[in-house]
Homo-oligomer: A and B are copies of this chain.
């Protein structure tokens, strides 16, 4: 088994664990979908991508989107907000400290690859911003857009 496959299998198990913990059933269609999602790793994908991939196995459209929603609620998946729409999803790495309320990402606008920042670049600024504006800040979402090293080199 390859390194990456082992990582993916661990991700699948992790997600299935979350699912059970939250009181949901582990069903065949969910396992299939979660495996497909894990295979995308740091690459973003659309609901249609996933449906096209899984439809041949008999999965229904509703199940795909229902499960995507469930995975978002579990914090496993998040959406990319790009200038041309918000229909792309990406796996949020477990235990990275990222959640729907706190997200710091780098997105490659050419290949769609997503990297998560280890350190929040705004840690220090948030208190100051709250002070200056009177807002009670409870989350933030930072998307940095550019070209990843590979895509930059490919030019």
Q: Chain A interface (Cβ within 8 Å of chain B)?
A: 81, 83, 85-86, 100-101, 106, 108-109, 115, 117, 121-122, 125-126, 128-130, 133-149, 152
Partner of A115, one of B122, B133, B140, B143: B133
Given known A136-B152, A142-B141, A144-B139, contact A121–B125 (CB-CB < 8 A): yes
Given known A106-B135, A115-B133, contact A144–B126 (CB-CB < 8 A): yes
Given known A83-B100, A121-B129, A129-B117, contact A138–B145 (CB-CB < 8 A): yes
Which chain B positions have C-beta within 8 A of A152?
A: 134-136
| Identical chains in the assembly | 2
Give chain B nearest CB distance to A42 CB in angstroms.
12
Q: Is the CB of A129 within 8 A of B106?
A: yes
Query: Who on chain B is nearest to A117 by CB?
Result: B129
Q: Is the CB of B108 within 8 A of A135?
A: yes
- Name the residue in A126, A136, A144, A147 with the highest tally of chain B Cβ atoms < 10 Å from its Cβ: A144
Given known A83-B100, A122-B121, A149-B135, contact A144–B115 (CB-CB < 8 A): no
Give chain B nearest CB distance to A89 CB in angstroms.
13
Q: Is the CB of A140 within 8 A of B142?
A: yes
Taken together as a complex, chains A and B put the C-alpha atoms of A135 and B115 apart, in Å, by: 10
Query: Who on chain B is nearest to A113 by CB?
Result: B135
Known: A108-B135, A135-B147, A141-B144. 15 other contacts (CB 8 A): A85-B86, A86-B86, A115-B135, A117-B129, A121-B125, A121-B128, A122-B122, A134-B148, A135-B149, A137-B144, A138-B145, A138-B147, A139-B146, A140-B143, A142-B143
